[in-house]
Structure 1
Amino acid sequence: MARLNLLEETRFEKLPVSVFDNPNAASLSVAHRIANLIKKKQEQNEMAVLGLATGATPIAVYAELVRLHKEEGLSFKNVITFNLDEYYPMLPTAAQSYVTFMNENLFDHIDIDRKNVNIPDGTLSLEEIPAFCLEYEKKIGQLGGLDIQILGIGRTGHIGFNEPGSAPNSGTRLVTLDDLTRRDAARDFGGKSFVPTKAITMGIGTIFKAREIILMAWNRKKASIIKKAVEGEISSEVPATYLQLSDNVEFILDKEAASDLTRFNTPWLVKDCVWDERLTRKAVIWLANTLKKPVLKLTEDDFNNNGMAQLAVEKGPVYNININIFNKLQHTITGWPGGKPNADDSQRPERAEPAKKRVIIFSPHPDDDVISMGGTFIRLVDQQHDVHVAYQTSGNTAVWDDDALRFVEFSIDFAEKMGLGQEALQEKYDNMRKFISQKRPNQIDTPEIQTVKGLIRKGEAIAGARYCGLQDDHIHFMALPFYETGKNQKNPVTSKDIELTIELLQKVKPQQVFAAGDFEDPHGTHIVCFNIILAALTELRKTESWAQDCWLWMYRGAWLEFETYEIEMAVPLSPQELEKKKYAIFKHQSQKDRAVFPGDDAREFWQRAEDRNRETAKAYDELGLAEYEAMEAFVRWKF
């Protein structure tokens, strides 16, 4: 019976999928499968032929293989490896090369014979590549094919660098990279313009010949493409869908990457559900959006014809369900984000008391506060709450080099006009200009340049916070140590990051904290900063009563909004308030027109924020609630 239930639950899935609680558990499982294969081959006195992938996805797999080698004696003497791909052109010594990646994450730490390591050569001439690719294929074939091939998946649906349009029988070859793939790689290269336009990759046909294929994917960013790969029609537009044709494939996912699959996203379509408040709200909103009807116009037939008959029977009548959900949504809307004084707060998102709250808005980068919640920021100040803003990092990697030079040039001219000494400043400037003229992609800036870029963003943050109504003594720059590496790869969080956050929290003793809960941030800074705040508040809640009464609200930024069913506080903005928020974002001139790391969205940050806030208001309006110009949305963290 359990088997039948599982088949029913996964009936939309066209290939085997295993879902783990988190990436680490999934990675350990894959690593041990590889280790077991190696041991089995050792017992048979045979070579294990592995197809390996690069990128963030397999790093924990390689870390566990290294641990198994160092702590449990797993030998790689009988292992031959073939990597999926390499950028072209690419020197093997470059920081972004997959040779460097594999050495740093695996090969330098195990006992593999380097003659058994095969990685596409990014230094070949164009004329040499066809012969090299044929030889790569031939070598794999002479060894009897790959025993196991591990894969990641790009947001274009590429496997290896087989971009949309790739043929299912394609072999190893030179390919042109999709623009989205290059945008995703931009941060590793210090900008998209430095990302190679081509790569050498194993073909889909090569991958198919492996006796075992494991595709791994972690986090919410991969959820939409995983749904297409697993449940969609086979198409050259999503090359990973070709894996549906293989009898030897398995997708290994964490819960976040699997979250758009039908059995997780709309489970009422494939199984009986436990209808708690959250799932009921999600289902009713989904039904209203699917049928393009307001919540209060949904009928019993609508429920019955769309997989929700069980809900209608258990919680009905349907109109009562609709009324309940409508009221819940209505109660999330408030013009008083700090709580409405002297009001019944039993149906409001925030407490009425204390009427004037101490508030800290934590901003991971120097502009997240105004981009993500600029309207609410201004509203809190206007309603006379004691508002502080804390910029957790300097954001100094996201400033253009010529902007840094321009500001120093201004300082030199200012010093000259004012009759101040400028020789030392001129020397610093000359050194900066020389360094920048010879700077390699993603090369770490000198301390002087880092300082200038940090000061640029600090000045912009001050201007934005002042525009929102804050006094200077309520503006805090934390410069958390984990961030201050001068490079895109940041240090691990330490106790110092948490201690600095605890110190600020103890100083202000807020009743309200706002923090970035936008974990779709492609650079990872948001979730790191959020976890630091969470660790600090969790520690303080053990001993300090004010911390136990402090509510933590999450906002989202330029990347993705909360789903409507998740929103617990929606702050409406008038056209004038939306315009004022936009002006606050304009204070961040270094991020305007063209940001250094814009992600895969070509719009400017102010445009993203404006559109997103309007879309949130429209979503409420289409469900039958009041029509507003724009809305900022928040979810409360439950300790």
Structure 2
Amino acid sequence: MIKEDINFKEAGRFEETRFEKIHNVIFDSSKEASLLVAQEIANLIQRKEELNEPCVLGLATGSSPIKVYEELVRMHKEEGLSFKNVVTFNLDEYYPMDKDNIQSYFYFMHEHLFNHVDIKAENINIPDGKVSAEELRQYCIDYDMKINSYGGLDFQLLGIGRTGHIGFNEPGSHVNSATRSITLDHITRVDAAPAFLGVDNVPRKAITMGIGTVKNAKRIVLLAWGISKADIVKETIEGEISSQVPATYLQEHNNTTFVLDTEASSELTRVKTPWLVKSCLWTDELKLKAVVWLSGLTNKPILKLTDKDYNDNGMSGLLAEEGTAYHLNIKMFNTLQHTITGWPGGKPNADDTYRPERSEPAKKRIIIFSPHPDDDVISMGGTFDRLVEQGHEVHIAYQTSGNIAVSNDEALKFAEVSTVLNSASTESDSIIDFLKNKSKNDIDSVAVRKLKGLIRRSESLGATRYMGVPDENVHFLDLPFYETGTVKKGNLTDADIDIMCNLIDKVKPHQIYAAGDLADPHGTHKVCLDSLFEALKRLKSNSYMDDCWVWLYRGAWHEWETYEIEMAVPMSPDQVLKKRYAIFYHQSQKDGVMFQGDDSREFWVRAEDRNRATAKKYNDLGLAEYAAIEAFKRYHF
């Protein structure tokens, strides 16, 4: 069926394979994809308007559709797109939930869309999170009947949860299920925890449209962004239909498109192992990826792979191109070997032909950008230590205050200590009074945010001093986009970019390290990375930028795949301990940190486990055995 005038095949990367059971298109960025989806919705609205018919939209919440809604609002304000003929039905709502609660989907939809367009209030339908328990069953029946009275949904926008839920249809949902109340899966509640400042505050129930209701839509578009969605996207698109992965029911719908970014598509067979799908153009990068994969599949070091291993696993084309496994193995082994260095700033007076970094200048000016005030030591504490130890001029730049991640109890403790030390402090008294009487809907006052930011700042200085960085080389940027007092952040503005540009221009670095981990639970890493990319774009013409290399590290959630790593910095057991102690300076983030995702381990444990795992992967491939390795990928701008 034609996809509502939008040619997804031309706009994104689409390829029909024997593995895939749902039409899907891959885009380089979620923004590019969101603009295209918004255009499809706008086309539908206008076509229905020309026919003098209502346009019935099923809408989703969460982070995935935000850019779609932003673009629809822009089209309304700048291009005259009218919503007067639009009727909307939202997928779900937490239960119980007040409409004015900032975590409600009622609040979300009005903030991101309805308050900014000309839709009629009577045409907005969102499940009522305060309907009484006695009336709930009939309310859900009536919700479906109202959708049916309009002839069903013309278009349904969806996201996907890591349990495979669409709407709040959790594992076990029936294919013919209708709108109803449901108990939320623990993983779903964990994923929602950042917005609620802790999983204990997330409601346990919700009202959701059923699978049957969703499948009756004439057109369905599902959005999935980020590495955290990659596994469930693969299972949904390539797996068997199962009530344990409710999104797989969409395989039975004849007009569904999954719109994915690169990270969300990364586990699909055609992306992860394209040689199993078709003949490949064997670039050096793809060869390394394939050989690393084959080594893992056969449980053999690279140098022990045989011609038979390649031929038996769909890689005969590569072998034919390279000649023999022997020569290919040595080539790939050497490629990986050359990523390993104990000199992340470059080894002075050494031949750097096969080293990841330049030898000159011997002493480099370096900026380590840290999105939160602990990402530097969590993600690259060993490399950080090595750079300082080897005499480079290291600057640490904390991009945000991190105040939202300080608990109220922690802030209260510091305010009470301040009051004892300074009995005349009325500001401390006001902070204590605010925190003791704060309700779940209250946004932290400016004074509370300042205190929480000071807590993080003091912890950061403790860690950087321990690592040997002078205080004048520690920069607290406090990017304005972050300072909203809520989990939802503002958009990047020139004010943010100017701060980044000013620091880079002041230091004129030879190396920049930045967080390339986009899987943090509330998106700050991505915004911080975008701010760096935009700053680099603006500064690119400056002569000092010709000698500036950018290295991306990953954070506490994911590591680079082995074939992606371009610099691997080994750590000794002593450095592993030093990194641990540096992380310990961030006391407010220990013992039940607020934004840890679904991983209950503390950040120092995660970091050590990840670094050990990276070292083991190198060793399993046949390379030297190290206690731990930190990994980096170069960004070319």
Deviation at 1:272, TM superposition (A): 1.3
**Aligned: 1:207 with 2:214:** yes
Q: Mean alpha-carbon deviation: is it higher for 520-529 or for 299-308?
A: 520-529
Match of 2:153 among 146, 151, 174: 146
Within a 5 Å distance, the mapping from 1:404-415 to structure 2 comes to: 404-415=411-422
Q: 1:109 to 1:380 in 2, by over 3 A?
A: closer
Secondary structure of 1:230's aligned partner:
helix
**Aligned: 1:270 with 2:280:** no
Deviation at 1:8, TM superposition (A): 8.0
Q: 1:359 to 1:175 in 2, by over 3 A?
A: same
Match of 1:393 among 395, 400, 405: 400
**Aligned: 1:181 with 2:188:** yes
Within a 5 Å distance, the mapping from 1:59-458 to structure 2 comes to: 59-415=66-422, 422-423=423-424, 425=425, 427-441=426-440, 443-458=442-457
CA distance in structure 2 between the partners assigned to 1:28 and 1:230 by the alignment: 23
Tell me the amino acid that sits aligned with residue 527 of structure 1.
K
Tell me the amino acid that sits aligned with residue 632 of structure 2.
F
**Aligned: 1:633 with 2:631:** yes
Secondary structure of 1:552's aligned partner:
strand
**Is the 2:412–2:435 contact (alpha carbons within 8 Å) kept by the matching residues of 1?**
no
Q: 1:457 to 1:68 in 2, by over 3 A?
A: closer
CA distance in structure 2 between the partners assigned to 1:24 and 1:510 by the alignment: 30
| 1:226-281 per-position Cα deviation (integer Å, ceiling 9, x unaligned) | 11110012222211011112223222223332222111121111111111111110
Q: 1:103 to 1:620 in 2, by over 3 A?
A: same
| 1:115-166 per-position Cα deviation (integer Å, ceiling 9, x unaligned) | 2222111011111111101111222223322222221111211100001121
**Aligned: 1:24 with 2:31:** yes
Secondary structure of 1:482's aligned partner:
helix
CA distance in structure 2 between the partners assigned to 1:624 and 1:344 by the alignment: 24
**Is the 1:332–1:568 contact (alpha carbons within 8 Å) kept by the matching residues of 2?**
yes
Q: 1:341 to 1:74 in 2, by over 3 A?
A: closer
Q: What is the aligned partner in structure 1 of residue 579 from structure 2?
A: 581
Q: Mean alpha-carbon deviation: is it higher for 129-138 or for 243-252?
A: 243-252
Structure 1 unaligned residues grouped into runs of 5+:
416-421
Q: What is the aligned partner in structure 2 of residue 601 from structure 1?
A: 599
Deviation at 1:92, TM superposition (A): 1.3
TM-score where L is the length of structure 1:
0.94
For this pair of structures, how many residues does the alignment match? 626
CA distance in structure 2 between the partners assigned to 1:540 and 1:45 by the alignment: 51
**Is the 1:17–1:250 contact (alpha carbons within 8 Å) kept by the matching residues of 2?**
yes
Q: Mean alpha-carbon deviation: is it higher for 591-600 or for 624-633?
A: 591-600
**Is the 1:187–1:597 contact (alpha carbons within 8 Å) kept by the matching residues of 2?**
yes
Deviation at 1:196, TM superposition (A): 1.2
Q: What is the aligned partner in structure 2 of residue 535 from structure 1?
A: 534
Tell me the amino acid that sits aligned with residue 599 of structure 1.
G
**Is the 1:9–1:263 contact (alpha carbons within 8 Å) kept by the matching residues of 2?**
no
Structure 2 unaligned residues grouped into runs of 5+:
1-8
Q: What is the aligned partner in structure 1 of residue 560 from structure 2?
A: 562
Q: 1:437 to 1:235 in 2, by over 3 A?
A: same
Q: 1:33 to 1:476 in 2, by over 3 A?
A: closer
Q: What is the aligned partner in structure 1 of residue 20 from structure 2?
A: 13
Tell me the amino acid that sits aligned with residue 100 of structure 2.
T
Q: 1:486 to 1:295 in 2, by over 3 A?
A: same
Within a 5 Å distance, the mapping from 1:482-493 to structure 2 comes to: 482-493=481-492
CA distance in structure 2 between the partners assigned to 1:442 and 1:367 by the alignment: 27
Tell me the amino acid that sits aligned with residue 434 of structure 1.
D
Deviation at 1:461, TM superposition (A): 0.5
Q: What is the aligned partner in structure 2 of residue 619 from structure 1?
A: 617
Secondary structure of 1:332's aligned partner:
coil
Deviation at 1:587, TM superposition (A): 0.8
Tell me the amino acid that sits aligned with residue 485 of structure 2.
G
**Is the 1:224–1:260 contact (alpha carbons within 8 Å) kept by the matching residues of 2?**
yes
Tell me the amino acid that sits aligned with residue 525 of structure 2.
H
Tell me the amino acid that sits aligned with residue 132 of structure 1.
Y
Q: What is the aligned partner in structure 2 of residue 475 from structure 1?
A: 474
Q: 1:597 to 1:11 in 2, by over 3 A?
A: same
**Is the 2:194–2:521 contact (alpha carbons within 8 Å) kept by the matching residues of 1?**
no
CA distance in structure 2 between the partners assigned to 1:434 and 1:36 by the alignment: 53
Deviation at 1:43, TM superposition (A): 4.0
Q: What is the aligned partner in structure 1 of residue 499 from structure 2?
A: 500
Tell me the amino acid that sits aligned with residue 557 of structure 1.
G
Q: Mean alpha-carbon deviation: is it higher for 589-598 or for 501-510?
A: 501-510
| 1:91-123 per-position Cα deviation (integer Å, ceiling 9, x unaligned) | 112222212222222223333332222211101
**Is the 2:226–2:518 contact (alpha carbons within 8 Å) kept by the matching residues of 1?**
no
**Is the 1:333–1:569 contact (alpha carbons within 8 Å) kept by the matching residues of 2?**
yes
Q: What is the aligned partner in structure 1 of residue 4 from structure 2?
A: none
TM-score where L is the length of structure 2:
0.94
CA distance in structure 2 between the partners assigned to 1:130 and 1:274 by the alignment: 57
Q: Mean alpha-carbon deviation: is it higher for 189-198 or for 265-274?
A: 189-198
Deviation at 1:71, TM superposition (A): 4.2
Q: What is the aligned partner in structure 2 of residue 571 from structure 1?
A: 569
Secondary structure of 1:18's aligned partner:
strand
CA distance in structure 2 between the partners assigned to 1:477 and 1:441 by the alignment: 29
CA distance in structure 1 between the partners assigned to 2:556 and 2:265 by the alignment: 23
Secondary structure of 2:88's aligned partner:
strand
Secondary structure of 1:154's aligned partner:
coil
Q: Mean alpha-carbon deviation: is it higher for 253-262 or for 333-342?
A: 253-262
**Percent sequence identity over aligned pairs:** 60
Secondary structure of 2:345's aligned partner:
coil
Q: CA RMSD in A?
A: 2.0
Secondary structure of 1:412's aligned partner:
helix
**Is the 1:213–1:249 contact (alpha carbons within 8 Å) kept by the matching residues of 2?**
yes
Secondary structure of 1:597's aligned partner:
coil
Secondary structure of 1:34's aligned partner:
helix
Q: 1:71 to 1:392 in 2, by over 3 A?
A: closer
Q: 1:109 to 1:315 in 2, by over 3 A?
A: same
Tell me the amino acid that sits aligned with residue 421 of structure 2.
F
**Is the 2:463–2:585 contact (alpha carbons within 8 Å) kept by the matching residues of 1?**
yes
**Is the 2:416–2:432 contact (alpha carbons within 8 Å) kept by the matching residues of 1?**
no
CA distance in structure 1 between the partners assigned to 2:14 and 2:414 by the alignment: 63
| 1:605-633 per-position Cα deviation (integer Å, ceiling 9, x unaligned) | 00110000000001101101111111001
Q: What is the aligned partner in structure 2 of residue 418 from structure 1?
A: none
Tell me the amino acid that sits aligned with residue 549 of structure 2.
W
Q: 1:392 to 1:126 in 2, by over 3 A?
A: same
CA distance in structure 2 between the partners assigned to 1:38 and 1:533 by the alignment: 37
Q: What is the aligned partner in structure 2 of residue 548 from structure 1?
A: 546
Secondary structure of 2:134's aligned partner:
coil
CA distance in structure 2 between the partners assigned to 1:147 and 1:224 by the alignment: 29
Deviation at 1:355, TM superposition (A): 1.9
Deviation at 1:294, TM superposition (A): 0.6
**Is the 2:403–2:453 contact (alpha carbons within 8 Å) kept by the matching residues of 1?**
yes
Tell me the amino acid that sits aligned with residue 391 of structure 1.
Y
**Is the 2:419–2:429 contact (alpha carbons within 8 Å) kept by the matching residues of 1?**
no
Q: 1:140 to 1:320 in 2, by over 3 A?
A: same
CA distance in structure 2 between the partners assigned to 1:233 and 1:158 by the alignment: 15
